[in-house]
Structures are given as C-alpha cells and as structure tokens.
Amino acid sequence: MAATRTLSRVWPSDSRLDERGRLQVGGCDAIELAERFGTPAYVYAEDDVRARSREFVEAFRARTEHFEVLFASKAFPCTAAYRIMAEEGLACDVASGGELHLALAGGFAPERIYMHGNNKTPAELEYALNAGVGHVVIDNFTELEWLEANAPGQKVLLRVTPGISGDTHSFISTGQADSKFGFGMDDVAGAIERIDRLELRGLHAHIGSQLLDVAPFEELGKLLASMGDYPLLNLGGGLGIAYTEDDDPPSVEDFAEAMLSNAPDGVTVLCEPGRALVGNAGVTLYRVGAVKEIPGVRTYVAVDGGMSDNLRPMLYGARYEAEIADRFGGSDVVTVAGMHCESGDILIRDVSIESPRTGDVLVIPATGAYGHAMANNYNGVPRPPVIFCSGGEAREVVRRETYEDLTYRDV
C-alpha cells in the first residue's frame, strides 16, 4: 500500500494525503466533507487549533511566569473557537460589542476579556462594563472622557501609536504615526495625566499584522518599557504565517523571545496573536464549476465562492496556494476565480494545480484567519459553514446560511 504523505506547513499540522492521494484534515476526507456539508466550507483541524494555542502558552511559560496570551478573536470570531481558546487557558481580545457577545457565549470569563476598538460606542462600552470586562483598552480622548465619567475604578490600558511599523501591507500596518488607532506619542503624557478615576494598568500597542520579522517587537518592548512603570505591557499580535511555501515566518519561540527581551522584571507581558493561532489550522473547500480557457491568455477556474468567503485577496492582494483535493501537485497554471459579479473577484492568480475539472473539490489552505471573520453576503450569497474535524469525526459548529436567513431581518 502506498504511504501517506505529510504536507507543508501551509496546511493544518493535522492534515495529510492518504494512500489514494486524497486530502485528510483532522482525519476526515476532504471530498467526503464537501459532499456532506456542501461547498464552500471552512474546515478546521481542531487539534491543530489547540496545539497552536498550547505552543504559544508553552513558549512564554518556558521563559517567564509573567505573561498572558490573548486570542485576538477578530481573526476567527466563532463561538466554538472562543470555547477552545478559553479551555486552553488563553485570555481574549475583542474589538466590538459583537465579538464580546461571542466571547461570552464561548465561555470566556468576563475578567479575562480585553475590549479594543478605535471608536467604541457608548452602547458598546456600557455592554462591556455591565458584563464585567476585565480591561478596556482606551484608544482616544473621547473614550477616555466617557470612561472617566461613567466607569470609576475600571481597569484600563492605554493604546499608543509607537511610530514603529513592521514591513507589511499598509492596510494592516497600525503602528506608524499616521494611524487611526491609539494615542500618538505626543499625546500619551496628556492622556495619562487625564486619568483620575480609572485604574491605569499599562500600555498597549499593535504595530501591524503578518509580520515576518520579530525585530520590531523587541523595539516595541523597549519603547513601552521606557514609558513608565506599569504592571502590564501589551505588545499586540501580528506574528505572520505561511500563506504559501515561499513565506518563512518566525517561530513562536522567536516571537516569545522578542516579546520578552526587554520586559522589566515582574512586568506581565501580554501578546495578542490572531492569525498565528488559527490561520494554518483551517482550509476552505470549494467545488469547481466553469473552466474557461482563453488560448494564449489564461485559464479561469471558477469556484462556488470567492470574495464573500475570503476578502483578503481583494483587500490586501493576499496570495494563496490551491490544490485539487485528490490530485495534489501538478503544473497547470490557472487563475482561480470567484463567482461574484466583480472582475476583481479573483482568489488566486497564476497558481499551479493538476488539470482542474468541473466537479473537482478545490482546496485553499491557510484560510483559518480572517476568512469566516470577514465573510459577507455580497450578491446574496449565504455564508459557508464552519466544520471542526478531529480524530476522523467532523462536527458543524456554524451551519451554512440559508436563503431564508437572507430575508430574516426584513421588517
């Protein structure tokens, strides 16, 4: 019998090709999953999500007892994911009232939640306070004044814009001075002075996402540590992942080392990974429909999803790989197109796959972060289900939207 094959780090660690060359995720056959749950579908190797959470916690724990790993839940705001992260002992960062609602539904203790947002509404702040959220991360003077007036004694962090930017797409770079997020360096002292009735526990900064170099985290730690004595320093998230085999992200060990490198003794360092916890643990299954060959130009392989289930290629020019679920490898260079009424609805331009045909299951790896999170109903397309696979068992944790769901809110 032919041996099974393990896959590159772009794929879930708990995935492989079986002896027939068919993709298995969490022990489940991708083609059978497509038949059972339909396509498109987000499929996660549940054990991989847990393993990556533990890897973060263990990397920090090996170096210090003063740390906290927060799940940056914007990457995958799904009740079942919150539940896993809470079970694995992580704390949680939410960026809206909706994410807070999901975090609570997923079982996070409110005091383990950090509430972010550059424009939290009074209603969201009230919700957070009533829920007993542990920390509010103050982003601007408007919010500071509101909290001073309405939330005496509330524990807070102050988000600063440190003027450090990592090498990444401008849309996901947040640490540079010209940013909508946080207090500019010139405003920090004034903001701290203004705090009277709140309990300022520390500073926060997030310099950007999909960072493939840890040096900016060291720089950030040094800067924040020099800005005052606080019990907490939150250095944000942003550790990059491998979307394609060409990406070479730093290890979690290197990330932890960099984050802790300039931490003063006794100060608790917080980090907020999002994509590094879930990105590579998930894949998206699609069904191939039309294959349109334009001789001498290109071949479009159209799938039954697109920018409604993965906005990142359109938003950031993000690059992915793809494979046919039972024919990995191959050298037919094609363009994977979505089914939306936009010429720009292209999931992957010029990717090599094996003779794609109508009816094939096409799989895009590394879609576990910001796929489900950014899913939308463009063209009235119902959003895909989320399937967790472990030990050969598949469970639907979010069902597919129906057409009835699309009219559900009509009044």
Subset of residues 156 to 175 that bind ligand PLP, contact rule: CB under 6 A: 174
Question: What single DSSP character describes residue 281?
Answer: G
Name which of residues 188 to 207 contact ligand PLP (CB under 6 A): 206
CB of residue 24 to ligand PLP, shortest distance in Å: 27
Report which residue type is found at 184. G
Single-letter code of the amino acid located at 332: D
Taking CB under 6 A as the criterion, which residues in 80-109 touch ligand PLP? Answer: 93
CB of 368 to ligand PLP, least distance (A): 11
Q: Let me know how long the chain is.
A: 411
Count CB atoms within 10 A of the CB of residue 212: 16
Which tokens in the block code for residue 224?
């924040």
- Binding ligand PLP by CB under 6 A: which of 97, 238, 313, 338? 238
Tokens 């960099």, residue located: 258
* Residue 35 vs 171, nearer CB to ligand PLP: 171
Find the binder of ligand PLP among 117, 202, 273, 313 (CB under 6 A): 273
Amino acid at 90: L
- In the complex with ligand PLP, which residue's Cβ is closer, 281 or 351? 281
- The residue from 28, 41, 75, 131 that contacts ligand PLP (CB under 6 A) is 75
How many residues of this chain interact with ligand PLP, rule: CB under 6 A? 19
Q: 12, 52 in Cβ contact below 8 A? A: no
Using CB under 6 A, which of 31, 33, 34, 72 touches ligand PLP? 72
- Catalytic, 341? Answer yes
Smallest separation, CB 95 to ligand PLP (Å) = 7
Q: Which residue has the tokens 């910001």?
A: 370
Q: What amino acid occupies position 349?
A: R
Q: Closest CB to ligand PLP among 209 and 308?
A: 209
- The smaller minimum CB distance to ligand PLP, of residues 55 and 304, is found at 55
Tell me the sheet residues that pair with 115: 94, 136
Q: Which of 78, 92, 271, 341 is catalytic?
A: 341
Q: How far apart are CA 411 and CA 407, in angstroms?
A: 9
Nearest to 292 by CA among 283, 301, 305: 301
- Stretch in the footprint of ligand PLP (CB under 6 A) among 16-24, 140-148, 150-158, 236-244: 236-244
Which among 277, 308, 305, 283 is positioned nearest to 374, based on CA atoms? 308
Of the ranges 22-30, 53-61, 244-252, 267-275, which one interacts with ligand PLP (CB under 6 A)? 267-275
Q: At what angle do helices 97-105 and 122-131 cross, to 10 degrees?
A: 20
Work out how close the CB of 168 gets to ligand PLP at its nearest, in angstroms, rounded to a whole number: 9
Contact yes or no for 372/396 (Cβ under 8 A): no
Hey, what amino acid is at 117? Answer: G
CB of 118 to ligand PLP, least distance (A): 9
Asked if residues 61 and 67 have their Cβ atoms less than 8 Å apart, the reply is yes
Residue type, 172: I
Question: Taking CB under 6 A as the rule, does residue 209 contact ligand PLP?
Answer: yes
Task: Output 72 or 115, the one with its CB closest to ligand PLP.
Answer: 72
* Antiparallel, parallel or unpaired: β 361-365 and 282-294: antiparallel
Q: How far is the CB of 373 from ligand PLP (least distance, A)?
A: 10
Site string for ligand PLP, 18-57 (x = CB under 6 A): ----------------------------------------
Residue 123: other Cβ atoms inside 10 A: 9
Which residues are known to be catalytic?
Answer: 341
Residues that bind ligand PLP (CB under 6 A): 72, 74-75, 93, 116, 174, 206, 209-210, 236-239, 272-276, 369
